Amino acid sequence: MSRSSVRTVVIAGLGVLALAACTSNTPKSEDKAAPAEQAAVKNDEPGKKVKIGFSAPAADHGWMGAITKATQAEAKKYSDVELIVAEGTNDVNLQISQVETFINQKVDAIVLLPFDGAALTPVATKAMQAGITVVNVDREFDSSFAARTTVLGDNHGMGVSAGTYVCQQLKDKKDAVVAEIAGIDSLPLTQDRSKGFKEALADCGLKVSNRVAAKFTVESGEEAATNLLQAAPKIDAIWNHDDDQGVGVMAAIKNSGRKEFFVVGGAGSANVMRDIKSGNSLLKATVIYPSTQGADGVRLARLLVQKKALGDLVEVEVPRTVQLYAPVVTKDNVDQYLPTAFES
C-alpha cells in the first residue's frame, strides 16, 4: 500500500478519535471522574514510536488468516506503530529464526502466536532477556519468563457456552440426541472444547450421543458430517467446533436433505453470522473464538512499550494474562459481533 493511503487512514482514525474524545467527556459532571476518563482516551494518542515484530503459523485456514489480517489492520490505525510481519510458517525452526531476526532488528516488542508454544519458549525468553517486550498470543509458552503478557481465547469456555445454549434450546427433551463435530482431536484446544461442552450438557442432564472429529478444513468437515448423519438417523442438535470446517458440514447436511435439528457453530466466521442473521438456516448460533487476538496483542504491546496502563482498569500496569470471552452469537445479538467476525 502506498504511504499516502496509510496516512489517510491514520488521519481518518485520528479524526474519529478526536470526535470520540469530545463525546466521551460529556458526562463530566464531577471533577473526580474526569482524570480517569481522560486517561482512558489518552491511550490512543500517538506516543513514542513502537516497532513491533509479528509472527504466526501458516494461514492454512480462515481463522489463522484472519489473525494476521486483523493484526495488520490494527497496526495501521496507529501512526506510532510500525509492524513487521514475518512469513507465516508451521516450521518451528523457521519461526525461531524469525524471532531471532526481530531481536537483531532491535524491535521494541514482539507479538508471537507460536506454532508450538513449548518449542518457541527458548527464543522468546532470549528476546525478553534482550529487553524486548514479548506478547504471547493464543498458544501459551511453558515458561513465565518468555512473555510479559499473554492473550488467550477460551476453548473450555467455548464448549461451556455451546453446551449451555444447547441446554436452553432442548430443556424439555430429556432424550434429546446431541451430536458433536470436533476439530483436530489430538490438539489440547479440541480436548478443552469437548470437555466444556460435556460439562455444560451434563448440567441439564444431556450427553453427547454421537461424536466425530474433522480437521478444521472444509473437506474434512464434509466427510465427518456425512459419516455422522449416516450413523445417527435422528439428531436434535449438532455443535460443530469450527466454522471453517463448518462450510463442509453444512454442505453435507444440505446434501442429506435433513432438517430435524439445529446447528451451533464455533470460532465465529462472518458467513456463519450472516446465516444466523438471515434466520432461514439450520445454523442458529455460533460461539466466538476471537480472531482479533493478534490485534489485541499489538495494542497491548504498544501500551507496554509506551508504559501506559490498560485504560479501563484501575491498575497501572498491563495485566499478565488477558483471556477473551467466548460469547454465544444468536439472531438477537449478531449485529454486535458481525463487525469483528472473520471472513473464511
Q: How far is the CB of 297 from other proteins (least distance, A)?
A: 17
Q: What is the dihedral of CA 22, 27, 33, 36, to 10 degrees?
A: -30
Given 79, 97, 209, 330, the residue binding other proteins (CB under 8 A)? 97
What minimum distance in Å lies between the beta carbon of 122 and other proteins?
5
C-alpha distances in angstroms, 218 versus 75, 140, 154, 340, 344? 30, 27, 23, 22, 10
**Within 13 Å and on the Cβ side, how many CA atoms surround 117?**
19
For residue 221, the minimal CB distance to other proteins (Å) is: 21
80 binds other proteins (CB under 8 A): no
Query: Quick one: which H or E segment has residue 323?
Result: strand 321-323
- Residue 107 beta carbon to other proteins: minimum distance, rounded to whole angstroms: 10
Quote the distance between the C-alpha of residue 31 and its chain's center.
Answer: 38
Angle formed at CA 113 by CA 111 and CA 115, multiple of 5 degrees: 145
Using CB under 8 A, which of 93, 172, 233, 280 touches other proteins?
93
Q: Does 23 bind other proteins (CB under 8 A)?
A: no
Question: Using CA atoms, how far apart are residues 179 and 181, in angstroms rounded to an integer?
Answer: 7
Q: Given the complex with other proteins, which of 139 and 284 has the nearer CB atom?
A: 139
* Euclidean distance between CA atoms 17 and 153, whole angstroms: 28
83 binds other proteins, rule: CB under 8 A: yes
Nearer to other proteins, 144 or 256 (CB): 144
Answer yes or no whether residue 115 interacts with other proteins by CB under 8 A: yes
Question: Per rule CB under 8 A, is residue 2 in the interface with other proteins?
Answer: no
Q: Which residues contact 325 (CB under 8 A, 6 or more apart)?
A: 154, 157, 288
Q: How far is the CB of 307 from other proteins (least distance, A)?
A: 25
Q: Is 91 one of the binding residues for other proteins (CB under 8 A)? A: yes
- Single out the residue of 10, 14, 40, 187 in contact with other proteins (rule: CB under 8 A): 187
Q: Does 116 bind other proteins (CB under 8 A)?
A: yes
182: contact with other proteins by CB under 8 A: no
CB of 188 to other proteins, least distance (A): 8
**Of 322, 283, 340, 269, whose CA–CA distance to 154 is shortest?**
322
**SS3 (DSSP) at 68:** helix
Q: Per-residue contact track with other proteins, 50 to 69, x per CB under 8 A?
A: ---------x--------x-
